[in-house]
Amino acid sequence: MPVSHLREILTTGDAGTAEFYFRPGVYRPVADTTRRSRRLVSISESTVPGLVGLMDALVIIAVGLAFYFGYVGWHPENAQNYAAVIAIDVALTVGLLQNARLYEFDTIVGWPCGLRRIIMVCVSVFLVLVAMAFALKVSETFSRVWFFASFGVSMVTICVLRGLFKVAIRRWALSGTLVRNIAVVGAGDQAKTFLGMLCERDTPWKRIVGVFDDRHTRIGNDVEGVPILGDLDDLVRYVRSRQIDEVVIALPWNADQRLMDLAKRLEELPVHVYLGADLIGYHFPRRSGSMLQGIPVLEVARTPLSGWGGIVKRLEDILLAGFLALFFAPLMALVALAIKLDSPGPVLFRQARYGFNNQAIMVYKFRTMYHGRPPENGVPQASRRDRRVTRIGWFLRRTSLDELPQLFNVLKGSMSIVGPRPHAVEHNEQYAELIGGYFGRHKVKPGITGWAQVNGPRGETDQIEKMHARVQHDIYYIENWSLWFDLMILAMTSVVGFVHKQAY
């Protein structure tokens, strides 16, 4: 396939074979990543260690209980003792494996490397349990057959399942369930070195999308067989539309200012950003050194809510939105009736706004303005004593009850319970030109409530300072997200967030 045709496919998404993955000496097309976005289950590298840890814990529990019920037999007087030993075994084994860095992704896919350390950890835990039993003078209460059998079978099973998990990871990678799509910035010697090193490794879970360089019109069509797809603007558009997970900046090490400018712009995107050099590491004191498939890089920015954080966030949204939708169902029915009685027109108002990754979403609200108004220039924000707002609309806006239909946005997955508030498309583009780093708000899903809303910056943004304060709060939330942070914001919303003097 000609490189020019490849560039067209990758840019427009007109074909089903787009990204590529490296194997030693081979550069092959694989399935389009848009199929991955439609999968019900998507696994990332950061979730694999947790899955392996859970698997190890379940193995120890299952083997221990199997030998207990199958050989010892259940007795009320000793059940608690055996359960306590199994619990201690799980805690010590998983904790020591974690401390020995045997749950790192590279170690898991490098099986059987690390196998001897796994055996050493299991043996150490066994010796600790035996020593504890003798020290506490309770060894006579346990079956020696159970002790040795459960230990031996658990250790062998954990080692074997590690190998099977490596095979599963490869299958998941080739099917698109577990994959990291990589874009490389730069087409010089640094990029050639990076791509050459990655080509030497058999890593189907790392796919190279393409190379991007501002000089693409003055250089060839590819680097080490990888197509050059355009400049940085093309990269941004590609991230917005095709789900790139990681960006590696492979540029000359002495181009400090250029690297800084690139890093600043890429920090607004929901992707991991790495520098392929360490000479300018002092510019990024908050980031740490990393290894990308054995290649040293410096992490400049990371995708928030990746791995288990994203799973926890989504579960939080589903559970809370489902509960709140049921709880507020009678109230929403009354509000809908009041809107119909107050003025003619639909109950719900729909507006296109920017969501995660700067993608347009349709946001639902209860209608608070008169329907069938004359055409307006742009999307003027509501102001104090705005004549467009209906009588019931004033009450709904002041109490934020007009936002309740967004619970269904959360259930659909386009919004979150807590996050930066989505803005109208026109306002979004306007403030993006005035505030640096504005698009960093779109690295997570927008929310019904947020850190900015409970701290004051809400309502009409008639001054640039107000929007700047809102953006600062939103970025702080994104960089410091935790489940407890969300729960704190929800608690504050229940106290101060519904009624606000700036909500009109």
- Helix/strand/coil (H/E/C) assignment for every residue in 195-209: HHHHHCCCCCCEEEE
Does residue 259 register a pLDDT over 70? yes
Q: Taking the alpha carbons of 337, 338, 340, 345 in that order, is the dihedral positive or negative?
A: negative
Closest CA to 22 of 185, 226, 158: 226
Predicted local confidence at residue 35, as pLDDT? 42
pTM of the model: 0.60
Confidence of residue 331 (pLDDT cuts 50, 70, 90): very high
383's CB contacts (< 8 A; 6+ apart) are 460, 462, 504
3-state secondary structure of 5: helix
Predicted local confidence at residue 295, as pLDDT? 57
Residue boundaries of the structural domains of the chain: 3-39+176-301, 48-174, 308-497
Predicted local confidence at residue 9, as pLDDT? 35
Give pLDDT tens digits for 120-148: 898 989 888 888 888 887 877 888 888 89
Q: Using the structure block, give the residue that is written with the tokens 């690139």.
A: 262
**φ and ψ of 68, to 5 deg:** -65, -50
Q: Bigger pLDDT: 413 or 456?
A: 413
Predicted local confidence at residue 496, as pLDDT? 67
Give pLDDT tens digits for 177-233: 777 888 888 887 778 777 877 777 667 787 888 888 877 666 777 777 788 888 888
Q: Bigger pLDDT: 426 or 343?
A: 343
**What CATH number does the domain located at 3-39+176-301 have?**
3.40.50.720
Does residue 300 register a pLDDT over 50? yes
**φ and ψ of 58, to 5 deg:** -65, -35
Does residue 361 register a pLDDT over 80? yes
Does residue 173 register a pLDDT over 50? yes
Helix (H) or strand (E) holding 468: helix 464-479
Does residue 287 register a pLDDT over 70? no
Q: How far apart are CA 234 and CA 214, in angstroms?
A: 10
Query: What percent of the chain is modeled with pLDDT above 70?
Result: 76
Predicted local confidence at residue 416, as pLDDT? 92
**φ and ψ of 212, to 5 deg:** -125, 135
Q: What is the mean pLDDT of residues 87-116?
A: 87
Instruction: Centre a 10 Å sphere on the Cβ of residue 135 and count the other Cβ atoms it contains.
Output: 9
Predicted local confidence at residue 254, as pLDDT? 66
479, 485 contact by CB (below 8 A): no
Helix (H) or strand (E) holding 181: strand 180-185
Predicted local confidence at residue 5, as pLDDT? 40
Give pLDDT tens digits for 22-54: 443 333 433 344 444 444 345 677 788 888 999
Burial of 187 per CB tally in 10 Å (0-12, 13-18, 19+): buried
Q: How far apart are CA 101 and CA 84, in angstroms?
A: 26
Q: What is the mean pLDDT of residues 427-442?
A: 73
Predicted local confidence at residue 292, as pLDDT? 60
Give pLDDT tens digits for 373-383: 666 665 556 55
